[in-house]
């Protein structure tokens, strides 16, 4: 199972198929705002709540300012998933955020990969 996916269980504990959570086609900013709202409304103890809130604020800042940096998007998503991914009540908005980040990354032109110069063989 991957981050942002949910296992569908209907009355049994069988190992059924894993399907992505339905997040719809939402923008990055909308997904961030939704997850911020859901985290604010979740009143149980979250040990990494501050980390998630900081990264959500960073993502919102990036989403409002043009093309976000791909590595920052990935880093923020990873930290948010680590902080909130095990909370089933937040699974759908975390999945929607993951999908929005993936769409944003697919929209951006590919980044050049630095190539090391080859050393001559002796």
Query: For 64-81, what is each residue's pLDDT tens digit?
Result: 877 778 999 999 999 999
| Domain boundaries of the chain, sorted by first residue | 48-107
SS3 102: helix
Evaluate whether 3 touches 85 at the Cβ level (below 8 Å).
Answer: yes
What is the spatial distance between Cα 69 and Cα 101, in angstroms, rounded to a whole number?
A: 11
φ, ψ for residue 19 (rounded to 5)?
-125, 150
Closest CA to 80 of 64, 108, 63, 101: 101
Q: Is-contact 71 2, C-beta < 8 A?
A: no
What is the Cα–Cα distance from 76 to 62, expressed in whole angstroms?
11
Q: Are 94 and 78 in contact (CB under 8 A)?
A: no
Predicted local confidence at residue 114, as pLDDT: 65
Is the model's pLDDT at 23 over the cut of 50? no
Angstrom CA distances, 70 to 96, 110, 116, stand at: 17, 10, 22
User: What pLDDT is attached to residue 44?
Assistant: 95
The reported pTM is 0.67
Spatial contact of 29 and 16, defined as CB atoms under 8 Å apart: no
């Amino acid at each position: 199972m991957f981050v942002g996916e949910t296992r569908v269980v209907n009355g049994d504990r069988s190992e059924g198929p894993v399907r992505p959570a339905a997040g719809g086609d939402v923008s990055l900013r909308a997904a961030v705002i939704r997850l911020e709202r859901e985290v604010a409304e979740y009143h149980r103890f979250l040990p990494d709540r501050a980390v998630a809130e900081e990264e959500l604020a960073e993502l919102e800042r990036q989403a409002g300012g043009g093309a976000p940096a791909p590595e920052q998007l990935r880093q923020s998503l990873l930290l948010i998933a680590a902080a909130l991914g095990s909370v089933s009540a937040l699974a759908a908005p975390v999945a929607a955020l993951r999908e929005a980040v993936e769409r944003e990354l697919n929209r951006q032109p590919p980044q050049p990969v630095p190539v090391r110069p080859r050393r001559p063989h002796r």
